[in-house]
Amino acid sequence: MRREGCDENNAQMTDFLCDFCGGTWTEDLPMVEGHKGSLICGACLREAYRRVVVLGENSADEGYACALCLLTKPEAAWRSPATGSTACRWCINRSATMLAKDPDSRWTKPEA
Ligand SMILES: [Zn+2]
Ligand SMILES: [Zn+2]
Q: Is residue 112 predicted with pLDDT exceeding 80?
A: no
Instruction: Give the per-residue pLDDT at 72.
Output: 95
Of residues 8 and 78, more confidence is placed in: 78
Taking the CA of 73 as reference, the closest ligand is 2
Tens digits of residue pLDDT in 17-38: 999 999 999 988 999 999 999 9
What average pLDDT is seen over the chain?
A: 95
HSE-CB for 32 with a 13 A CA cutoff: 25
Instruction: Give the per-residue pLDDT at 27.
Output: 86
Taking the CA of 78 as reference, the closest ligand is 2
CA of 93 to the centre of ligand 2 (A): 9
Of residues 6 and 53, more confidence is placed in: 53
Closest to 107 in 3D by CA, of 18, 23, 50, 46: 46
CA of 12 to the centre of ligand 1 (A): 17
